[in-house]
Structure 1
Amino acid sequence: MKDAGEYSAPSGRAWAVVGMLSLFMLVNFADKAVIGLSAVPIMRDLHLTNEQFGQVGSAFFFLFSLSAVLVGFVANRVPTRILLAVMGLIWALTQFPMLGAVSLPLLFACRITLGAGEGPAYPVAIHALYKWFPDEHRTFPTSLVAIGGTFGVGFIAPLITWMIVTYSWHVAFGFLGVVGVIWTAMWMVIGREGPLDVDRAEPVQAAAARVPYVRLLTARTALGVTIGGFAAYWAIALAIVWLPAFLIKAGGYTPTQTGWIVVLPSALQLIIIPGAGLLSQKLLRHGIPSRFSRGLFASGSISLAGASMILLSYSHAPAVQIPLVMLAFGVGAVIYSLGPPLLSEISPVGQRGAVLGLSNAVFSFAGLIAPWLTGHIVDVGTDPAVGFRQGFLFAGCLICAGGILAAILINPAKDLARFREGSTRLGGLAETSGDRDEFSESRAAHQIQSAH
């Protein structure tokens, strides 16, 4: 029976799965972004206030977190190949009703259903990915999956904007429905469960390595990753729902110009996310603790995004605004390539899917709050431009605070030591090995063995 350390040379199938999961996240974020790109015509056609449209944006997250939790536990037992296919099909089916006459209740219903289908997307995709790559090789492929979302929000935006301007926002939604169906069909042909599936490759660890979920979720690293993820997701929610409207109403850009500007944070992510992943992985291999090689990278990026958001709220000149838009909505996403490996370090493989889903559920609450709260701030402002700037100032302060807290909390080595001590007290067994390799998942699992 092979252990995790023998999977150092991923197969061609593994990289094909990485490619499909990256496309999965592209479709995921394109489905999210279309609502923001269509904001002005939807508000005009349905006669909505800013706060009402913010409520539509928040409705997407109504079942998002609950779904992430439930499916996260299901992912520990059901093949991820099936779960991902079901999600892709749900996304596609929620786009097609937008092709006809749309009322506000129908818009709410479709966005709520889409959110329920997308809530578990990233944690399940990462759980599927980690069945193909051991811990020391995960950061870079995780970054490749994460930048799929970058393409969805950014590089697909000009195409979606062109459809909205040339045809209508109804056509843009229908197009994304067709794309979702195509991805689902391709995944059923290409997708497979990886050799590091707990039921086949690591049965000893699956049976022995158990930590109560309360201890896992209140560990420093889990709290730090979740708080940092919440802060970064606040920026994502604003980018999806309000950034295009901000650029049009507060920045004075045309819809076509806006479609190209929202590409720029994604262009930056295309460089910074894989770059951070490669550098982090290299530092890890050279013995730099993951608290620094993963944690400080992620938390520093979040703080930089928050500071840029604060400056953006005061900026007026395009030469200043555009770089700040890139930083404010681009760099914080590094947490989504470095956070999951941090969580996987402290999570027994048999519990990993649930831990990823639970963390995702908590930090995605930002998506439920941010669109509505920002819309409310815009409506109570003296005018939309002032309201948007006030909303972005508040967001920047919140994001900065989240990055600082994440930097203070994240410390996988301390968490593993705490789990080991707890296991020793419960079972009267102490780990006597002198091996200090805190980065290998198989070693981490042995460190937290209980006496069950």
Structure 2
Amino acid sequence: MTAQPTPKGAWKITFLLFLFMLVNFADKIVVGLAGVPIMTELKLEPEQFGLLGSSFFFLFSISAIVVGFIVNRVATRWVLLALALVWALAQFPMVGTIGFTTLLICRVILGAGEGPAFSVAVHAIYKWFPDEKRTLPTAILSQGSAFGVVLAVPALNWVIVNHSWHYAFGALGVVGLMWAAAWLIMGKEGPLVQTVAMAAAEPRIPYFQLLTSRTFVGCCIATFGAYWALSLGLTWFTSFIVKGLGFSQQDAGWISILPWLFGAMIVILTGWISQVLMSRGVSTRGARGVLGSVPLIVGGLILAIFPHVEVGGLMIALLVVGSGLSGSIYVVCPPMIGEFTPVSQRGAMIAIYGAIYTLAGIVAPLVMGNVIQRTTGQIDGYMIGYTINAVVLVVSGLLGLLLLWPNTERARLTGQGETAQPKFA
């Protein structure tokens, strides 16, 4: 068969959505980056700051599911514009003098706006690229998160150090409005919408069977562990560098980039290795399930060593590597779910998967804040918190290794042989 051509303007849309995800993660990181000045000015205890970090995820999962179904009926162009406006407007109250409650409410609203971001952006891109050409634009989109942190951290930290943490939020609001304006002018709905209609001819599988399949459950558990580490990085990493290790706010800003650089490398490397293994005939059990689970276990074991080394550079290196290895699971789980899910149900299944694993964003920052507040000596509190993170990673990785069998899952749910290739993928 002749490959379907890519519509004109597809890469322009890809670049705009890359910037969309860049802004998305810059918005996420700012509270963690400004953690010490926020706690100092608002006189927050660690438990309160943990609650602030978790508040971002209070409506994150619910919003992701709701909007995931909405975009089946509403053009993604307008949904993306609405999300970007919510992000921008939620930042501006922080420019003035505010209290803890206002900051908390704004973070809840921001989380509700950002929960659906990645799934809607992926849905939009799939309207511009035929199936056989979606890997590269999807990879570019996913790297918007890493670049969002790498580019935003130095800029926002400069604003925090030289001006105020209040203006860092204001700067993000302005950037959000700029993106919304650019999208309103240049953003368009993709022309390949007929590919969605084709899904109606495919057999449907009851959602109960899909949601209780061992591979779906395994993906949720494994990615929950990875997101535990990520949410600690968003909320507590910079505070640990400043308060735990004694670095200045300025130096901590540069150090805070390291986990995201390493994580981006892991994501790209995992995707490449997975494709190479599959091209050599390795089953998706090995090329996806094992490849995604083992780094979680190794990362957890590295974090288990972390509290037992001297305070300094080695401790930072172990934290960066141990947490960063968990990024491998994000690359392999959506394709595994796609292996056994009909196209007409795939968007909802991926949205539900995202809603479940991001619940770790509520739990992890709260646990860390409570542990720090209840431990004598702040550095000891951080050590216990990261030890808990190590246990979560190892357990989630082992369960992933046990449960992730996408190739046999497909055969069981569709009644086809393991080597059969249904139209679902």
How does the TM-score come out when normalised to structure 1? 0.88
Counterpart of 1:174?
170
- Seen in structure 2, the aligned counterparts of structure 1 residues 7 and 170 have a Cα distance that, compared at 3 Å, is farther
In 2, the alpha carbon distance for the partners of 1:22 and 1:49 equals 36
Native 8 Å contact 1:416 1:444 kept in 2 = no
- 2:148 is the counterpart of 1:160: no
Counterpart of 1:258?
252
Counterpart of 2:108?
112
- 2:146 is the counterpart of 1:150: yes
Native 8 Å contact 2:7 2:191 kept in 1 = no
- Seen in structure 2, the aligned counterparts of structure 1 residues 312 and 152 have a Cα distance that, compared at 3 Å, is farther
In 1, the alpha carbon distance for the partners of 2:328 and 2:184 equals 29
Native 8 Å contact 1:75 1:354 kept in 2 = no
* 1:207-286 equivalent positions in 2, closer than 5 A: 207-286=201-280
In 1, the alpha carbon distance for the partners of 2:285 and 2:3 equals 24
Native 8 Å contact 1:140 1:278 kept in 2 = no
Native 8 Å contact 2:7 2:129 kept in 1 = no
Q: Offset at 1:231?
A: 0.6
Q: Once the two structures are superposed, what CA deviation does each residue of 1:245-301 show, in whole Å capped at 9, x if it has no partner?
A: 111122121111111111111222332222322332233344332222222222223
In 2, the alpha carbon distance for the partners of 1:326 and 1:107 equals 29
* 1:25-104 equivalent positions in 2, closer than 5 A: 25-104=21-100
Native 8 Å contact 1:154 1:265 kept in 2 = no
Q: Offset at 1:98?
A: 0.6
- Seen in structure 2, the aligned counterparts of structure 1 residues 313 and 26 have a Cα distance that, compared at 3 Å, is farther
In 2, the alpha carbon distance for the partners of 1:43 and 1:305 equals 30
SS of 1:156's partner is: helix
In 2, the alpha carbon distance for the partners of 1:138 and 1:341 equals 12
The 10-residue stretch of structure 1 (334-343 or 102-111) with the greater mean CA deviation from structure 2: 334-343
The 10-residue stretch of structure 1 (286-295 or 234-243) with the greater mean CA deviation from structure 2: 286-295
SS of 2:14's partner is: helix
> Aligned residues: percent identity?
41
Match of 2:346 among 328, 345, 352: 352
Native 8 Å contact 1:146 1:337 kept in 2 = no
Q: Offset at 1:202?
A: 4.7
Counterpart of 2:371?
377
- Seen in structure 2, the aligned counterparts of structure 1 residues 245 and 269 have a Cα distance that, compared at 3 Å, is same
In 1, the alpha carbon distance for the partners of 2:289 and 2:80 equals 28
The 10-residue stretch of structure 1 (234-243 or 129-138) with the greater mean CA deviation from structure 2: 129-138
Native 8 Å contact 2:202 2:342 kept in 1 = no
- Seen in structure 2, the aligned counterparts of structure 1 residues 109 and 364 have a Cα distance that, compared at 3 Å, is same
- Seen in structure 2, the aligned counterparts of structure 1 residues 260 and 389 have a Cα distance that, compared at 3 Å, is same
In 2, the alpha carbon distance for the partners of 1:224 and 1:9 equals 36
* 1:118-157 equivalent positions in 2, closer than 5 A: 118-133=114-129, 137-157=133-153
Native 8 Å contact 2:411 2:418 kept in 1 = no
In 1, the alpha carbon distance for the partners of 2:264 and 2:84 equals 24
- Seen in structure 2, the aligned counterparts of structure 1 residues 286 and 63 have a Cα distance that, compared at 3 Å, is same
- Seen in structure 2, the aligned counterparts of structure 1 residues 325 and 29 have a Cα distance that, compared at 3 Å, is same
* 1:428-447 equivalent positions in 2, closer than 5 A: 436=419, 438=421, 443-445=422-424
Native 8 Å contact 1:90 1:114 kept in 2 = yes
- 2:336 is the counterpart of 1:342: yes
In 2, the alpha carbon distance for the partners of 1:104 and 1:275 equals 41
Q: Once the two structures are superposed, what CA deviation does each residue of 1:210-239 show, in whole Å capped at 9, x if it has no partner?
A: 122111111222112211111111011100
- Seen in structure 2, the aligned counterparts of structure 1 residues 164 and 232 have a Cα distance that, compared at 3 Å, is same
SS of 1:338's partner is: helix
Counterpart of 1:394?
388
In 2, the alpha carbon distance for the partners of 1:145 and 1:314 equals 38
In 2, the alpha carbon distance for the partners of 1:9 and 1:298 equals 32
Counterpart of 1:450?
none
- Seen in structure 2, the aligned counterparts of structure 1 residues 15 and 228 have a Cα distance that, compared at 3 Å, is farther
Q: Offset at 1:103?
A: 1.0
- Seen in structure 2, the aligned counterparts of structure 1 residues 185 and 297 have a Cα distance that, compared at 3 Å, is farther
- 2:400 is the counterpart of 1:409: no
SS of 1:253's partner is: coil
Counterpart of 2:324?
330
Q: Offset at 1:80?
A: 2.1
- Seen in structure 2, the aligned counterparts of structure 1 residues 100 and 214 have a Cα distance that, compared at 3 Å, is same
Please give the root-mean-square deviation of Cα atoms over the aligned residues, in Å: 2.2
- 2:3 is the counterpart of 1:24: no
Native 8 Å contact 2:338 2:424 kept in 1 = no
Q: Offset at 1:323?
A: 1.9
- Seen in structure 2, the aligned counterparts of structure 1 residues 196 and 217 have a Cα distance that, compared at 3 Å, is farther
Counterpart of 1:427?
none
How does the TM-score come out when normalised to structure 2? 0.93
Q: Offset at 1:196?
A: 4.6
* One-letter amino acid of the counterpart of residue 363, structure 1: Y
In 2, the alpha carbon distance for the partners of 1:136 and 1:302 equals 29
The 10-residue stretch of structure 1 (214-223 or 159-168) with the greater mean CA deviation from structure 2: 214-223
